[in-house]
Structure 1
Amino acid sequence: MRAATTSEMKDLDKVAIETYGIPSIVLMENAGRGAAETILNYFDGIIDKKVGIFIGKGNNGGDGLVISRYLNQKGVQIQLYLLAPKSRISGDAKINLDIVSKMNIPLVEMTNNEAFNQLKGEMNHLDIIVDGILGIGLTSDVKGFFKDVIEYINRLKKPIVSVDAPSGLDCDSGWPKGISIEADLTITFGLPKVGQLIYPGLDFVGKLKVIDIGIPNEALINANLKCHLVTYDMVKGAIKDRAPNSHKGNYGHLLVIAGSVGKTGAAALASLGALRSGAGLVTLGIPESLNLSMEVKLTEVMTKPLPETYEHTFSLEALEQIQALTLKKGAVAMGPGISTHPQTRELILRLITELTIPLIIDADAVNALAGYLDILKQAKSQIILTPHPGEMARLLGISTSEVQKDRVGIARAVAREHGVYVVLKGARTIIGDPEGNIYISPTGNPGMATGGMGDVLTGMIGGFIVQGYEVLDACLISVYIHGLAGDLIARDKGGIGMIAMDVVERLPEVIRDIKQMKTYIRESDF
């Protein structure tokens, strides 16, 4: 599913109006009618409730006025609060204001704090609040009167429906402009906005519903939008069927370079993540002194003991053996639990520049690139970086909070500038490709905030690549299924106490259910 920035959505509206000749008031009517229908379906017994609709001076307020008309027609008790003088309402919003006046829908002008204070007692008796105050066009922080109104609405603890976007939310970054409405339901128009699909925007949006307002599909296709929400249908369509007459050689061979003293679990989880995702064969390269324990632990994974340092980490002397191991392999997943030993770091940098099959670079292999990021331009193969926010921060020499403030922008910049695929892990994992496209996965939950989850994902990406999937498809499928497995575990067992092996064991079932179109999976899409 495509998603839009604020400027892209405004451009699409303009194309619909100017190129296709759709009057702007028709788009407003479609938006308001669709929102009203959504509200009627969302709230049980709404006919017996009092709905307060807060109207700003712009098109967002105009949408709110349309909503009031349709709710009024259904017998809902409406009270409109106009946050600007009637004389400042213009265009399509003015047309709808005139209609509302002729319909005798109750309306009061509340344009300053004095009027606001006089009406607070009345507002306390509202059952539902509709926020049509500011919309998606906000460019500066919310201050003064509007800030006071938003603070009060939030304190009322009434169900809040935001029209197009919670007032005060930056719909590109997902961060509030000083303050934002905390909605229970946001009804957005045309397409979801990028900031509504990521944190912290999700905390303000509540449940998100998208309304088709009549922008032609051709216009959406021609817009060349670069941001997408990964959906169940995308993943289902990408997963390949297996031929009955096939064998393990048909499903690829992954080489995993992972592990050090105290971190053998990371190596095991990455290897099992690949197998449970369908890889035909997995070989684990492990520091030689740790090989016996991994042979005992991993029955289905082949192991290869490799030269090590005195600290039992990978030695630079392992380079030639790893190069030989890549023959007849479809990809290499490296980094989980390997340590930051200087020799190990040098080994990773050499492998990045010398290997010719896809490389999934995770954990300490990402850390090895800190200060050497430009070496990626010397790579001879497709590169997939899978950092968590802390690893991305070390990679770029910035703070973790800076990464978290612009996850989409940073993932896109690193992918585009260095010609790699980026999987920036975290709540709402971001996938970026070398062309600047961004994909946001809606799956996953806080129960997955535990050691080893990223190792499983690294193995999964490698597992899908060796099965013959394009790199981007392998990333999208792996991230979505990984998170969905966690969601289903949390649903069935609870999130607290979930471990990475729980996800590993759930993967075959999730893949099967997606292929069989289990409908409950669709609930995760937003």
Structure 2
Amino acid sequence: MPVFRTESGHEVPSVTADEMREVDRVAVDCVELGMLQMVENAGRTLAGIVRRKTGEPTQIVGRREADATPTVIVLAGGGGNGAGGLCAVRHLRNHGWSARTLLDRDPTDLSGPAGRQCRILTKSGVAVTAATDRHDADGSDTDTGLTHLLADADLVVDALIGYGLSGPPHGTTAEMIDAIEASETPVVSLDVPSGLQATTGETPGVAVSADTTLTLALPKTGFADEADDLDLRPAVGDLLLADIGIPPVVYRRVGFGAVVDRVEKEDADATDDQIPYRQPFGARNWVRLVDVRR
């Protein structure tokens, strides 16, 4: 199973979708770390990465003047991934960025953390609309209009589907992924490029090819291409790892079985069925992952 390395050589184990789901469960049920807290941490870090990328005019050649306000479009789904994207919109707007959200469903259909983040935006005077509500003034259909909208942006955030992908994207979500791919605008994916299976790296249908992926808590096993000497899959792009506030005790409480065999044990207190975890972030809340090994 893949092990990722930071620029400083720190090794970080990867997890499958099921293992990450268990990490989330233990964090919420056993440590009482709220999902809203983790979403807030993810969204704030995502906004910071977007600001770094759009704040350098040389990174977006020919799209805007150096003194213009960066334009960011966040495409969000209804799960935790979408919640992080909605949260990032708030932080971007707080810092003066022109950021807007398009959902893959009607805002009234949102619940849980995504619904909460949507309500925060709307009560702050920020419009949150469904992609299906958008048509170009000339009457172009939604898909074409969305492609044009994304093409005019400085950067697109893909927050449609996270590690919970269970089959090919369909309906409006698939159309939004197609629009991302057709726009040629730089893309930052949150946690997992939408359409890519977090455990295997397979793409059962349409999928986003990200320029950057900001993955949360731990990298996912599917980011490594085992058929290509464990190189990073091209669809992942530049891989960054975000700290969302999960304390190390959560990893020590979650038994991942054979996962322990893929990393040299660094925690003398860890038992054989526990993940050997040492936080890699140092003074920052994100790090770059530069390579991977078995």
The two structures have a TM-score, normalised by structure 2, of 0.74
SS in 2 for 1:111: helix
Q: Distance in 2 between matches of 1:146 and 1:207?
A: 23
> 1:224/1:49 Cα in 2 relative to 1: closer, same or farther (>3 Å)?
same
2:103–2:128 Cα contact (<8 Å) kept: yes
Instruction: Give 1 or 2: higher helix fraction.
Output: 1
Give the corresponding residue for 1:64: 85
Give the corresponding residue for 1:127: 154
Q: Distance in 2 between matches of 1:125 and 1:43?
A: 14
Give the corresponding residue for 2:18: 7
How many angstroms does 1:436 deviate by?
11
How many angstroms does 1:228 deviate by?
7.3
Give the corresponding residue for 1:214: 245
SS in 2 for 1:525: strand
Q: Distance in 2 between matches of 1:60 and 1:118?
A: 24
Specify the code of the residue in structure 1 equivalent to 2:87.
Answer: V
Q: Distance in 2 between matches of 1:229 and 1:112?
A: 50
Q: Distance in 2 between matches of 1:34 and 1:131?
A: 14
Q: Distance in 1 between matches of 2:146 and 2:261?
A: 41
How many angstroms does 1:205 deviate by?
0.7
2:105–2:131 Cα contact (<8 Å) kept: yes
2:255–2:273 Cα contact (<8 Å) kept: no
Q: Distance in 2 between matches of 1:150 and 1:227?
A: 32
**Cα deviation digits, residues 486-523 of structure 1 (max 9, x gap):** xxxxxxxxxxxxxxxxxxxxxxxxxxxxxxxxxxxx97
Specify the code of the residue in structure 1 equivalent to 2:71.
Answer: K
User: Does 2:103 align with 1:82?
Assistant: yes
**Cα deviation digits, residues 377-421 of structure 1 (max 9, x gap):** xxxxxxxxxxxxxxxxxxxxxxxxxxxxxxxxxxxxxxxxxxxxx
Query: Which stretch has the larger CA shift, 18-27 or 194-203?
Result: 194-203
Q: Distance in 2 between matches of 1:96 and 1:150?
A: 22
User: Does 2:163 align with 1:104?
Assistant: no
SS in 2 for 1:135: coil
User: Does 2:38 align with 1:27?
Assistant: yes
1:191–1:210 Cα contact (<8 Å) kept: yes
**Cα deviation digits, residues 86-118 of structure 1 (max 9, x gap):** 111001111110111122334332137953444
Give the corresponding residue for 1:16: 27
> 1:21/1:524 Cα in 2 relative to 1: closer, same or farther (>3 Å)?
closer
SS in 2 for 1:139: coil
Q: Distance in 2 between matches of 1:523 and 1:97?
A: 31
> 1:48/1:229 Cα in 2 relative to 1: closer, same or farther (>3 Å)?
farther
> 1:55/1:524 Cα in 2 relative to 1: closer, same or farther (>3 Å)?
closer
How many angstroms does 1:49 deviate by?
1.9
1:112–1:145 Cα contact (<8 Å) kept: no
How many angstroms does 1:230 deviate by?
7.7
1:2–1:229 Cα contact (<8 Å) kept: no
How many angstroms does 1:199 deviate by?
5.2
SS in 1 for 2:233: helix
Specify the code of the residue in structure 1 equivalent to 2:175.
Answer: D
Structure 2 residue runs without a partner (length 5+): 1-11, 58-67, 135-140, 267-271, 275-287
Identity percentage over the alignment? 28
Q: Distance in 2 between matches of 1:65 and 1:148?
A: 20
**Cα deviation digits, residues 27-68 of structure 1 (max 9, x gap):** 111111122222223444377321110011111111100111
2:148–2:183 Cα contact (<8 Å) kept: no
**Cα deviation digits, residues 223-243 of structure 1 (max 9, x gap):** 233447989xx69x9xxxxxx
1:130–1:163 Cα contact (<8 Å) kept: yes
SS in 2 for 1:169: coil
Higher relative contact order (CA 8 A, sep 6+): 2
1:3–1:228 Cα contact (<8 Å) kept: no
Flag the structure with larger Rg: 1
Q: Distance in 2 between matches of 1:57 and 1:149?
A: 14
For the aligned residue pairs, the C-alpha RMSD in angstroms reads: 2.9
Give the corresponding residue for 1:331: none
Q: Distance in 2 between matches of 1:221 and 1:115?
A: 47
SS in 2 for 1:209: strand
Give the corresponding residue for 1:525: 291
Specify the code of the residue in structure 1 equivalent to 2:79.
Answer: G
Q: Distance in 2 between matches of 1:10 and 1:227?
A: 15
Specify the code of the residue in structure 2 equivalent to 1:92.
Answer: P
Q: Distance in 2 between matches of 1:183 and 1:206?
A: 5
Aligned residues: 243
Specify the code of the residue in structure 2 equivalent to 1:121.
Answer: H
